[in-house]
Amino acid sequence: MSKVVIALLHHPVLDRQGAVITTAITNLDLHDMARSACTFGVGAFYIVHPVAAQRELAERVKAHWVDGSGAKRIPTREPAMSLLRIVPAIEDVYASEGGRANVDVYVTSARGEGRTVMSYPEARVKMRESARTPLVLFGTGWGLAPALIETSDAFLAPIDGASATGYNHLSVRAACAIILDRLLGTRE
């Protein structure tokens, strides 16, 4: 099984009205998702952003924690932040992973209505058996754009809450940790 890789997309994602937008990078996303990725043995954590200035910001954050004073102050953050790969578009992720034909793309969302969703046990088996690299996509804003979801290979079952009110508004950071545990965690 190839190592799972993950990507956080800032475009194409949706806004509250359902329009396709580009979101700004959130520093907390970089740290928290990198730490989850490192904890679960993920091979790379791609940050996808079309705006060069935003990519430069992410590169500076990475450099601080991998080569700079951050690495000296909190050495345990270095292996996590070293997983960051900052790229302009999802196509760059595919290219880095041997091309789209070499990748199994799994998408995530809180909204699975009308979708054929894949359970986590099923995804674990597919990841183990497939010769292609498993790539799990996470969105920002109000979620991944439909065009991206339509071209994916699997729609991972939404994490369902248990709130009596039906409240289900996880941060992408929390959702990433839960999903990686379900896919790669070693304890039931």
Q: Which of 65, 138 has the CB closer to ligand SAM?
A: 138
119 binds ligand SAM (CB under 6 A): no
| Residue 172 binds ligand SAM (CB under 6 A) | yes
Nearest CB to ligand SAM, comparing residues 40 and 142: 142
Residue of 20, 21, 51, 170 that binds ligand SAM (CB under 6 A): 170
> Applying CB under 6 A, does 138 fall inside the site for ligand SAM?
yes
Comparing CA positions, the residue from 12, 107, 89, 25 lying closest to residue 60 is: 25
67-106 footprint of ligand SAM as x/- string (CB under 6 A): ----------------------------------------
In whole angstroms, how close is the CB of 107 to ligand SAM at the nearest point? 8
Q: 165: which 2 tokens?
A: 């009110």
- Nearest Cα residue to 5 out of 41, 43, 56, 38: 43
Kindly tell me which residue out of 58, 62, 158, 183 binds ligand SAM, with binding defined by CB under 6 A.
158
The one among 140, 145, 149, 180 contacting ligand SAM by CB under 6 A: 140
Which residues contribute to the site for ligand SAM (CB under 6 A)?
Answer: 108-111, 138-140, 142-144, 158-159, 168, 170, 172, 175
